[in-house]
Amino acid sequence: MKSSGIYFFIALLWTVAVSCGKPMENPDPLVVTQDTFRYETSKLVMGADLSYVNAIEENGGTFYDSLGKKTDPFVFLHDKGANLVRVRLWHNPSWQNNLYGSIKYSHLADVTKTIKRAKDAGMSVLLDLHYSDNWADPAKQETPKAWLNLNLQTLKDSIYNYTTKVLNHLKSQNLTPEYIQIGNENNGGMCHPVGKITGNNYSNFGQLLASGISAVRNFSSNSTIKPKIILHVAQLQNSDWWANGVTSQAGITDFDILGLSHYFLWSTVSKNTDITKTISDLTTKYKKKVMIVETAYPWTSQSADGYNNIISGQNAVDGYPVTKEGQLKYMTDLTQAMISGGGVGMIYWEPCWISSNLKDQWNTGSSWENNTFFDFTGKPLPVIKYMKHRYTF
């Protein structure tokens, strides 16, 4: 070997040694190089409610990765650690005819599309049955128009048959959900007035729940995928009395998971230590797994459009400023608090509801774009890193 070749070889070895001892610069600060880590749902459900995504994309909303490349939010979020998609289903949202000229979103065809996108991206699915034509929440639980004025027995049959029909449809498309929610934020019952909770009378509500549960269990007997059943109540301060009423008064114990909504703006349980204790107490008392199926936190108090935001950011939680970094810290700490109490999952509500030309019943745009995983230009925010954080179990 010639001397010049020896010098070149030595220089080459030195360059390789230095480069091996120094991490390569990552051009994308939101990407951990070669980090394929993702929680399995059996360990920790890390979910996102993506019910609005089809509508947003069809009305001009576009999502990008942090390098500015257009991306599919289902694929992108799975890459960032999401392992489950939650999607709501309305019975017959005919009110959409006034907005779009037809029924377009959150009906069975749209939900089928969402579930396919989720499964194609490699994620599990939580199907949220509202048993209503519109939003079902603590303030409103309207019976579908098709079921109005039915007596209790006929309403029970309708819930059973509808639940079975939906599941059979999805199974025929190889889209059976891994989880199913029987109702949404049912603090006051479901399908009012028949299924309304009045005082300590949970009887009718319990019978309606039982019909939905029975439909799922009977479906599961002939299904490879056997959906886990979730019952859902809003806000941690309501969880114990509600779960007690459902199990003791209504006698409903055949479910797998107690699902909670946790929004700081409406919660009186806000300290992480109290969140941990509440979830731990629920797990111990009711012998059920507990999951936060809805939550969010703002990254800005600003707005991208003329639609007033639901959470403005003025009433931030102490220690968690309404900033990009504050949003990440809040979600990371909340997830750890939930896990420390024995909780099994964290699902963020509508992290992709960015501003677009989408109309709803109140305005055009978004009333949630300051709580999303994407900024006002459609690029991802640091908050997504909480999904791959290594938590303590």
Q: Residues with catalytic annotation?
A: 185, 294
Look at residues 82, 80, 105 and name the one whose alpha carbon lies nearest to residue 92.
Answer: 105
Neighbours of 244 (CB within 10 A): 14
Do residues 204 and 194 lie in contact, with contact meaning Cβ atoms separated by under 8 Å? yes
Count how many Cα atoms sit within 13 Å of the Cα of residue 251 in the half-sphere of its side chain: 6
CA 290 – CA 205 distance, rounded (Å): 21
Look at residues 266, 262, 245 and name the one whose alpha carbon lies nearest to residue 199.
Answer: 245
Look at residues 178, 185, 339, 381 and name the one whose alpha carbon lies nearest to residue 266.
Answer: 185
